[in-house]
Protein backbone atom coordinates (compact mmCIF):
# COMPACT_ATOMS: atom_id res chain seq x y z
CA UNK A 1 0.00 0.00 0.00
CA UNK A 2 1.27 3.46 -0.86
CA UNK A 3 1.42 5.44 2.39
CA UNK A 4 0.36 8.73 0.82
CA UNK A 5 -2.52 7.42 -1.28
CA UNK A 6 -5.82 7.54 0.58
CA UNK A 7 -7.56 5.84 -2.33
CA UNK A 8 -5.60 2.66 -1.69
CA UNK A 9 -7.14 2.07 1.73
CA UNK A 10 -10.60 3.59 1.35
CA UNK A 11 -12.04 0.38 -0.19
CA UNK A 12 -10.77 -1.59 2.82
CA UNK A 13 -12.48 0.83 5.18
CA UNK A 14 -15.71 0.75 3.18
CA UNK A 15 -15.73 -3.06 3.21
CA UNK A 16 -14.87 -3.35 6.90
CA UNK A 17 -17.61 -0.95 8.02
CA UNK A 18 -20.07 -1.57 5.18
CA UNK A 19 -20.40 2.17 4.58
CA UNK A 20 -19.19 4.72 2.06
CA UNK A 21 -16.50 6.87 3.73
CA UNK A 22 -16.29 10.60 3.19
CA UNK A 23 -13.35 12.36 1.62
CA UNK A 24 -10.21 11.88 3.78
CA UNK A 25 -8.37 14.93 5.07
CA UNK A 26 -4.60 14.43 5.28
CA UNK A 27 -3.00 15.24 8.63
CA UNK A 28 0.55 14.19 7.84
CA UNK A 29 2.47 11.46 6.08
CA UNK A 30 0.28 8.38 6.08
CA UNK A 31 -2.35 9.84 8.45
CA UNK A 32 -5.88 11.05 7.65
CA UNK A 33 -9.10 12.14 9.30
CA UNK A 34 -12.16 10.61 7.70
CA UNK A 35 -15.91 10.38 8.36
CA UNK A 36 -17.57 6.99 7.95
CA UNK A 37 -20.95 5.79 9.15
CA UNK A 38 -21.51 9.02 11.05
CA UNK A 39 -18.27 8.63 13.02
CA UNK A 40 -15.12 10.70 12.94
CA UNK A 41 -12.13 8.41 12.51
CA UNK A 42 -8.35 8.56 12.18
CA UNK A 43 -6.72 6.35 9.55
CA UNK A 44 -3.05 5.47 9.44
CA UNK A 45 -0.98 3.36 7.06
CA UNK A 46 2.55 2.02 7.27
CA UNK A 47 4.55 -1.07 8.23
CA UNK A 48 4.06 -0.72 12.01
CA UNK A 49 0.31 -0.21 12.23
CA UNK A 50 -0.55 -3.82 13.10
CA UNK A 51 1.74 -3.65 16.15
CA UNK A 52 0.27 -0.26 17.02
CA UNK A 53 -3.25 -1.70 16.95
CA UNK A 54 -2.19 -4.53 19.25
CA UNK A 55 -0.53 -2.01 21.55
CA UNK A 56 -3.65 0.16 21.78
CA UNK A 57 -5.68 -2.90 22.68
CA UNK A 58 -3.12 -3.94 25.30
CA UNK A 59 -3.24 -0.50 26.92
CA UNK A 60 -7.03 -0.46 26.85
CA UNK A 61 -7.07 -3.61 29.00
CA UNK A 62 -5.47 -1.85 32.00
CA UNK A 63 -7.97 -0.48 34.57
CA UNK A 64 -7.30 3.17 35.35
CA UNK A 65 -4.67 3.63 32.63
CA UNK A 66 -4.84 6.61 30.25
CA UNK A 67 -7.58 6.06 27.68
CA UNK A 68 -6.64 5.20 24.12
CA UNK A 69 -8.68 5.51 20.92
CA UNK A 70 -10.89 2.56 20.08
CA UNK A 71 -9.47 0.37 17.33
CA UNK A 72 -12.14 0.28 14.61
CA UNK A 73 -10.23 -1.49 11.81
CA UNK A 74 -6.91 -3.31 12.10
CA UNK A 75 -5.23 -4.68 8.99
CA UNK A 76 -1.55 -5.50 8.34
CA UNK A 77 -1.07 -2.11 6.66
CA UNK A 78 -4.09 -0.09 7.87
CA UNK A 79 -5.17 1.11 11.31
CA UNK A 80 -8.41 3.02 11.81
CA UNK A 81 -9.32 4.36 15.24
CA UNK A 82 -11.97 6.56 16.75
CA UNK A 83 -11.20 10.25 16.57
CA UNK A 84 -10.31 12.01 19.85
CA UNK A 85 -11.68 15.51 20.30
CA UNK A 86 -9.04 17.71 21.91
CA UNK A 87 -9.05 20.85 24.00
CA UNK A 88 -6.53 23.14 25.69
CA UNK A 89 -3.99 21.49 27.96
CA UNK A 90 -4.79 22.17 31.62
CA UNK A 91 -3.25 21.57 35.04
CA UNK A 92 -6.01 19.02 35.66
CA UNK A 93 -4.91 17.10 32.55
CA UNK A 94 -1.36 16.95 33.89
CA UNK A 95 -2.46 15.62 37.29
CA UNK A 96 -4.68 12.97 35.73
CA UNK A 97 -1.83 11.93 33.43
CA UNK A 98 0.41 11.22 36.42
CA UNK A 99 -2.22 9.15 38.18
CA UNK A 100 -3.15 7.18 35.10
CA UNK A 101 0.44 6.46 34.11
CA UNK A 102 1.01 5.10 37.62
CA UNK A 103 -1.99 2.81 37.13
CA UNK A 104 -0.60 1.64 33.79
CA UNK A 105 2.84 0.95 35.23
CA UNK A 106 1.34 -1.01 38.12
CA UNK A 107 0.14 -3.57 35.59
CA UNK A 108 2.72 -6.31 34.96
CA UNK A 109 3.93 -7.69 31.63
CA UNK A 110 4.85 -11.36 31.42
CA UNK A 111 8.36 -10.82 30.03
CA UNK A 112 10.94 -8.16 29.34
CA UNK A 113 10.69 -6.80 25.83
CA UNK A 114 8.25 -8.58 23.56
CA UNK A 115 5.39 -6.57 22.13
CA UNK A 116 5.93 -4.13 19.28
CA UNK A 117 8.54 -4.56 16.55
CA UNK A 118 8.56 -0.79 15.97
CA UNK A 119 9.27 2.45 17.81
CA UNK A 120 7.75 5.00 15.47
CA UNK A 121 9.37 4.30 12.09
CA UNK A 122 12.34 2.46 13.62
CA UNK A 123 12.26 -1.36 13.62
CA UNK A 124 13.43 -2.94 16.88
CA UNK A 125 14.03 -6.49 18.04
CA UNK A 126 10.86 -7.60 19.82
CA UNK A 127 12.33 -10.81 21.20
CA UNK A 128 11.27 -11.37 24.80
CA UNK A 129 13.76 -11.93 27.61
CA UNK A 130 13.50 -13.32 31.13
CA UNK A 131 15.98 -10.80 32.51
CA UNK A 132 15.83 -7.01 32.45
CA UNK A 133 19.56 -6.52 31.99
CA UNK A 134 19.60 -8.89 29.02
CA UNK A 135 16.64 -7.11 27.43
CA UNK A 136 17.97 -3.60 27.94
CA UNK A 137 21.58 -4.50 27.10
CA UNK A 138 20.62 -6.27 23.87
CA UNK A 139 18.50 -3.34 22.67
CA UNK A 140 21.32 -0.98 23.56
CA UNK A 141 23.86 -2.96 21.53
CA UNK A 142 21.51 -3.48 18.58
CA UNK A 143 20.56 0.18 18.19
CA UNK A 144 24.07 1.51 18.84
CA UNK A 145 25.49 -0.80 16.17
CA UNK A 146 23.12 0.83 13.66
CA UNK A 147 24.40 4.34 14.32
CA UNK A 148 28.15 3.75 14.80
CA UNK A 149 28.27 3.65 18.62
CA UNK A 150 28.76 -0.06 19.14
CA UNK A 151 32.17 0.18 20.83
CA UNK A 152 31.29 2.51 23.72
CA UNK A 153 27.80 0.97 24.00
CA UNK A 154 29.22 -2.54 24.37
CA UNK A 155 31.19 -1.36 27.40
CA UNK A 156 28.07 0.15 28.89
CA UNK A 157 26.11 -3.04 28.21
CA UNK A 158 28.73 -4.92 30.21
CA UNK A 159 27.80 -3.05 33.38
CA UNK A 160 24.14 -2.36 32.68
CA UNK A 161 22.95 -4.71 35.42
CA UNK A 162 24.50 -2.46 38.07
CA UNK A 163 22.64 0.60 36.77
CA UNK A 164 19.09 -0.69 36.47
CA UNK A 165 16.34 -0.46 39.11
CA UNK A 166 14.84 -3.56 40.73
CA UNK A 167 11.25 -3.21 39.46
CA UNK A 168 9.43 -4.40 36.36
CA UNK A 169 8.62 -5.73 33.91
CA UNK A 170 5.62 -3.45 33.62
CA UNK A 171 3.35 -2.74 30.69
CA UNK A 172 4.72 0.39 28.99
CA UNK A 173 3.47 2.73 26.31
CA UNK A 174 7.01 2.57 24.93
CA UNK A 175 7.05 5.72 22.77
CA UNK A 176 5.79 8.25 25.27
CA UNK A 177 6.72 11.71 24.09
CA UNK A 178 4.41 14.70 24.28
CA UNK A 179 3.32 14.32 20.65
CA UNK A 180 1.70 11.02 21.61
CA UNK A 181 -0.36 12.58 24.41
CA UNK A 182 -3.67 14.15 23.39
CA UNK A 183 -5.39 16.57 25.77
CA UNK A 184 -8.94 15.34 25.46
CA UNK A 185 -11.88 17.70 25.47
CA UNK A 186 -13.34 15.32 28.07
CA UNK A 187 -10.60 16.32 30.54
CA UNK A 188 -8.60 13.12 30.14
CA UNK A 189 -5.12 12.74 28.62
CA UNK A 190 -5.31 10.18 25.81
CA UNK A 191 -2.37 8.15 24.50
CA UNK A 192 -1.72 7.28 20.86
CA UNK A 193 1.03 5.61 18.77
CA UNK A 194 2.31 3.14 21.36
CA UNK A 195 5.24 0.73 21.14
CA UNK A 196 4.00 -1.51 23.94
CA UNK A 197 6.47 -3.87 25.60
CA UNK A 198 7.54 -5.08 29.01
CA UNK A 199 10.09 -2.81 30.64
CA UNK A 200 10.97 -0.36 33.38
CA UNK A 201 8.34 2.28 34.21
CA UNK A 202 11.15 4.82 34.27
CA UNK A 203 11.50 4.34 30.49
CA UNK A 204 8.15 6.03 29.85
CA UNK A 205 8.77 8.84 32.32
CA UNK A 206 12.29 9.54 31.03
CA UNK A 207 11.13 9.68 27.43
CA UNK A 208 8.31 12.01 28.38
CA UNK A 209 10.95 14.40 29.70
CA UNK A 210 13.23 14.12 26.65
CA UNK A 211 11.30 16.54 24.42
CA UNK A 212 9.79 18.79 27.08
CA UNK A 213 9.88 18.81 30.85
CA UNK A 214 7.50 16.70 32.91
CA UNK A 215 5.42 18.99 35.16
CA UNK A 216 6.04 18.63 38.88
CA UNK A 217 2.31 18.08 39.40
CA UNK A 218 2.44 15.08 37.03
CA UNK A 219 5.30 13.44 38.95
CA UNK A 220 3.70 14.19 42.32
CA UNK A 221 0.39 12.68 41.19
CA UNK A 222 2.26 9.62 39.88
CA UNK A 223 4.10 9.12 43.17
CA UNK A 224 0.85 9.32 45.13
CA UNK A 225 -0.19 6.10 43.38
CA UNK A 226 3.07 4.29 42.68
CA UNK A 227 6.54 4.67 44.18
CA UNK A 228 9.67 4.78 42.04
CA UNK A 229 12.84 2.98 43.11
CA UNK A 230 15.44 5.09 44.91
CA UNK A 231 17.73 6.96 42.54
CA UNK A 232 15.19 7.28 39.73
CA UNK A 233 16.11 10.89 39.04
CA UNK A 234 19.77 9.92 38.47
CA UNK A 235 18.66 7.20 36.04
CA UNK A 236 16.80 9.59 33.72
CA UNK A 237 19.77 9.88 31.28
CA UNK A 238 20.11 6.09 31.16
CA UNK A 239 16.48 5.66 30.15
CA UNK A 240 16.62 8.58 27.71
CA UNK A 241 19.46 6.81 25.94
CA UNK A 242 17.17 4.28 24.24
CA UNK A 243 14.90 6.84 22.48
CA UNK A 244 17.96 8.93 21.60
CA UNK A 245 19.48 5.90 19.87
CA UNK A 246 16.20 5.33 18.01
CA UNK A 247 16.33 8.94 16.82
CA UNK A 248 20.01 8.55 15.90
CA UNK A 249 19.12 5.57 13.71
CA UNK A 250 16.31 7.53 12.04
CA UNK A 251 17.73 11.06 11.88
CA UNK A 252 21.48 10.96 12.41
CA UNK A 253 24.16 13.17 13.86
CA UNK A 254 22.63 15.47 16.46
CA UNK A 255 20.88 12.63 18.26
CA UNK A 256 23.94 10.43 17.86
CA UNK A 257 26.05 13.05 19.66
CA UNK A 258 23.57 13.23 22.54
CA UNK A 259 23.47 9.44 22.83
CA UNK A 260 27.27 9.20 22.74
CA UNK A 261 27.60 11.78 25.51
CA UNK A 262 25.28 9.79 27.78
CA UNK A 263 27.07 6.51 27.02
CA UNK A 264 30.48 7.95 27.84
CA UNK A 265 29.13 9.51 31.03
CA UNK A 266 27.73 6.16 32.21
CA UNK A 267 30.62 3.87 31.23
68, 62 contact by CB (below 8 A): no
Q: What gap in Å lies between CA 133 and CA 64, rounded to an integer?
A: 29
**By C-alpha distance, which of 44, 45, 68, 42 is closest to 55?**
68
| Separation of alpha carbons 94 and 96, rounded Å | 6
Q: Is 175 a catalytic residue?
A: yes
Q: Kindly tell me the number of DSSP H helices and DSSP E strands found in the chain.
A: 9, 13
Instruction: Name the catalytic one among 51, 77, 175, 193.
Output: 175
Q: Return the DSSP state at 129.
A: E
Ramachandran category for residue 115: left, alpha or beta (phi over 0 → left; psi -120 to 50 → alpha): left
| DSSP structure class, residue 67 | P
Exposed, middle or buried: residue 107 (CB in 10 Å: 0-12, 13-18, 19+)? Answer: middle
- Distance between CA atoms of residues 219 and 159, nearest Å: 28
| Overall size of the chain counted in residues | 267
φ, ψ (nearest 5 deg) of residue 113: 70, -140
* Contact (Cβ atoms closer than 8 angstroms) between residue 71 and residue 44: no
Positions marked catalytic: 175
Amino acid sequence: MTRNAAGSWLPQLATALDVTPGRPRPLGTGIWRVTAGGRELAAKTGPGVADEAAGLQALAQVPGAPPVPEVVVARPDLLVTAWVDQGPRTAAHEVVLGRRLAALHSWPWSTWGGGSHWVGACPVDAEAADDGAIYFGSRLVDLSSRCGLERPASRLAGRIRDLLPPDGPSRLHGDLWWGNVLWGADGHPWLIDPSVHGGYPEEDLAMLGLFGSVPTRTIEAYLEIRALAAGWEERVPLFQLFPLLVHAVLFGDSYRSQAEAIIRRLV
